[in-house]
Structure 1
Amino acid sequence: MIKPYFHFILLFSATILAQEPTTSNEKIYRVFDQLVGLDNNGLFNGPEFIDLYLNTDGTFRYLEGFDYTQGSVIYRGQYYVDVWLKYDLLEDQLLTKSKDNLGIFNVKLIHEFVSEFTLKDRHFVKLKDFGQKNFFELGYQGQELDLYINHKKNKKKRVLKSGVQYSFKPLNYYLFKYQETYARVETISNVRREFPEYKKEINDFYHNSKTLYIQDRDSFMKKLAPYLDNLLQKTKS
Structure 2
Amino acid sequence: MYKALTVYLLFCASLALAQPAADTLFVRDAVKNTIGFYTTSIQGQTSLYNGSQYREPNRSNNDQHPFFENDDWVTGTVTYDGQYYEDVPLLYDITSDKVVTENYYNADQIVLVWEKLDAFTIGDEAFLKLSHKTLPKAGFYHVLYDGETKVVARRQKVIREKISGQSIDIEFDPRYRYFIFKNGAYFPVKSKASMLKVLEDEKPALRQFISKNKLHFKFMREEALRRVAAHYDTLKKQP
**TM-score grouping bracket, smaller chain normalisation:** 0.7 to 0.9
| CA-to-aligned-CA distance 1:25-82 (integer Å, 9 cap, x gap) | 65x323xx44xx12xx221121112223321472332111211111111111122111
Match of 2:9 in 1: none
Moved more, 145-154 or 53-62: 53-62
Distance change >3 Å, CA 77–CA 223, structure 1 → 2: same
Tell me whether 1:166 sits opposite 2:170 in the alignment.
Answer: yes
Distance change >3 Å, CA 199–CA 61, structure 1 → 2: same
What residue in structure 1 maps to residue 34 of structure 2? 21
Q: Structure 2 counterpart of 1:21, which letter?
A: T
Task: Look at both structures and tell me which one has the larger radius of gyration over its CA atoms.
Answer: 1
> What is the aligned partner in structure 1 of residue 77 from structure 2?
72
Alignment correspondent of 2:206: 202
Contact 1:138 1:148 in 2 (8 A): yes
Paired residue secondary structure (1:49):
coil
For residues 90-169 of structure 1, the aligned pairs below 5 Å read 90-100=95-105, 102-103=106-107, 105-130=108-133, 133-142=138-147, 144-161=148-165, 163-169=167-173
Partner SS for 1:48: coil
Aligned residue in 1 for 2:236: 232
Q: Secondary structure at the match of 2:48?
A: coil
Q: Tell me the amino acid that sits aligned with residue 237 of structure 2.
A: Q
Rate the CA distance shift 1:61–1:220 in 2: closer, same or farther, 3 A.
farther
Higher relative contact order (CA closer than 8 Å, sequence separation 6+):
2
Q: 1:177 aligns with which of 177, 181, 201?
A: 181
Q: List alignment gaps of at least 5 residues for structure 2.
A: 1-31
Give the direction of change, closer, same or farther, for the CA distance of 1:65–1:192 in structure 2 (3 Å limit): same
Deviation at 1:96, TM superposition (A): 0.9
For the residues of structure 2 that align with 1:224 and 1:116, how far apart are their CA atoms? 26
Structure 2 distance, partners of 1:57, 1:162, is 19
Cα offset, 1:89, TM superposition: 0.9
Q: Do 2:33 and 2:83's aligned partners in 1 also have CA atoms closer than 8 Å?
A: no
Contact 2:91 2:100 in 1 (8 A): yes
Give 1:188 shift.
2.1
Say what the alpha-carbon RMSD is for the aligned residues: 2.6
How far residue 86 of structure 1 moved from its aligned partner, in angstroms, is 0.7
Aligned pairs (5 A) from 1:211-230: 213-230=217-234
Assess if the C-alpha contact under 8 Å between 2:191 and 2:218 holds in 1. Answer: no
Distance 1:119 1:110 in 2: 17
Q: Tell me the CA shift for residue 226 of structure 1.
A: 0.8
Corresponding position of 1:53: 58
Q: TM-score of the superposition, structure 1-length normalised?
A: 0.75
Match of 1:85 among 85, 90, 95: 90
Cα gap change, 1:164/1:57 in structure 2, threshold over 3 Å: closer, same or farther? Answer: farther
8 Å contact from structure 2 (residues 74, 122) kept in 1: yes
Letter of the 2:233 partner, please give it: D
Change (3 A) 1:153 1:220: farther
> CA 1:232/1:133 → structure 2, altered by over 3 Å: closer, same or farther?
same
Please list the CA deviations of residues 158-184 of structure 1 after superposition, one character each: whole Å capped at 9, or x if unmatched.
Answer: 111352112223222222222223222
- Going from structure 1 to structure 2, the CA distance change for 1:174 and 1:182 (only over 3 Å counts) comes to same
Deviation at 1:126, TM superposition (A): 1.6
State the partner residue of 1:42: 47
